[in-house]
Structure 1
Amino acid sequence: MGDSMKRVAILLSALLVVAGASYAGLFGSNKYEKEVETETSAVNLAREAASGDYLLVTTAELKAWMEDGKPMLIIDAMPLEASYNKAHIPGAKQFLFPIPDMKEWNAAETENRSLEDYQTLLGNDKEIPIVVYCGFVKCTRSHNAAIWAKKLGFNNVYRYPGGIYAWQGAGYSIASK
């Protein structure tokens, strides 16, 4: 095979790869690749929960708790103006937490609120279930909120990983300011 034939073969191969990728992009992504993404998210969530020593609650469980009138405190860990005021779970209180791991309290990352402010919001009942959430599973604001509730001595801390996206996706009502 001559050099020009090799170039044509390489060019055709490249075009086939691009066409295949375009086809996959146009008609849905590869279900096997999606499974890798799902697995990665699931394992990351499990590891975060294990490292933070908190529990997880699903959309259906949280909705059932609310319908049953279970005493609990729900914390929305997203920004006040950009998120909470637009859509939050009814009855949720807002307290911003950052996305990166918050190993030390930094008021600049919590809308200039102190650890004492968070303690005040959570109250004195260390046994009350505390449910923290943010936007969606990959968002880690709720991870930070859960960790700090545990550090303050609360025993029944739950992270609701689906957050406001899953809540809305389930068709449940939202509140706004």
Structure 2
Amino acid sequence: MEKLKLIVIVPMMMVLLAGISYASDSWPDTVMQKINVLYDLEKDKKDMPLSIEEAPVVSGEEAYTMWKSKKAVILDTRSKTQYDTERITGSENLYADELIKDPSLAQGLDKEKAYILYCNGIKCTRSPKAAILMNHLGFKKIYWYREGIPDWKSKGYPTE
């Protein structure tokens, strides 16, 4: 029985470690250091930072105004399952955890457009991670909606 466990567990660990290694190899150390700080905050169940240098923070009201006037594309950085369950009306999905593994996922986005990134609120790493990654890829008009979808919903703004 123990041998069977090893036969199953060892290949799974190899795949997991290969994925982590690939993600780290896709990005410079300086980028991964910033991402790892966010992972540590998440692991310790702490709030994400109040700000990040890669993207100014926008409030719910600012995000709503930009959304309503179509001055920015809203990017939901959560998983596809969460996105499909409920999202800000008209938002697009760019899952941050997949972007880390595959930077080419951002190739279809226009670097000249403004983007508001959100996820599940102040304890969620996905939108700040995506902001750091997109900034490194050359996106300059990135805004971080730190409070995310919980705040959007509490204000009664539209979701689908």
TM-score higher than 0.5: yes
Q: What CA distance in whole angstroms lies between the structure 2 residues aligned with 1:97 and 1:65?
A: 22
Q: What CA distance in whole angstroms lies between the structure 2 residues aligned with 1:152 and 1:91?
A: 24
1:142 is the counterpart of 2:143: no
- What residue in structure 2 maps to residue 119 of structure 1? 107
- What residue in structure 2 maps to residue 111 of structure 1? none
- What residue in structure 1 maps to residue 94 of structure 2? 95
Unaligned runs of at least 5 residues, structure 2: 1-45
Percent identity over the alignment is 29
- What residue in structure 2 maps to residue 20 of structure 1? none
Q: Which amino acid aligns with 1:90?
A: T
Shift of 1:67: 2.3
1:66 is the counterpart of 2:67: yes
Is contact 2:67-2:74 (8 Å) kept? no
Q: Which amino acid aligns with 1:105?
A: I
Q: What CA distance in whole angstroms lies between the structure 2 residues aligned with 1:148 and 1:159?
A: 13
Shift of 1:45: 2.4
- Partner SS state of residue 117, structure 1: helix
Q: Which amino acid aligns with 1:96?
A: Y
- Partner SS state of residue 74, structure 2: strand
Counterpart selection for 2:100 from 85, 102, 105: 105
Unaligned runs of at least 5 residues, structure 1: 1-39, 107-113
- Partner SS state of residue 144, structure 2: strand
Q: What CA distance in whole angstroms lies between the structure 2 residues aligned with 1:145 and 1:89?
A: 17
Q: Which amino acid aligns with 1:61?
A: E
Instruction: Flag the structure with larger Rg.
Output: 1
Moved over 3 A (4+): none
- Partner SS state of residue 66, structure 2: helix
Q: What CA distance in whole angstroms lies between the structure 1 residues aligned with 2:94 and 2:156?
A: 24
After TM superposition, the score normalised by the length of structure 2 is: 0.65
The number of residues matched between the two structures is 115
Q: CA RMSD in A?
A: 2.1
After TM superposition, the score normalised by the length of structure 1 is: 0.59
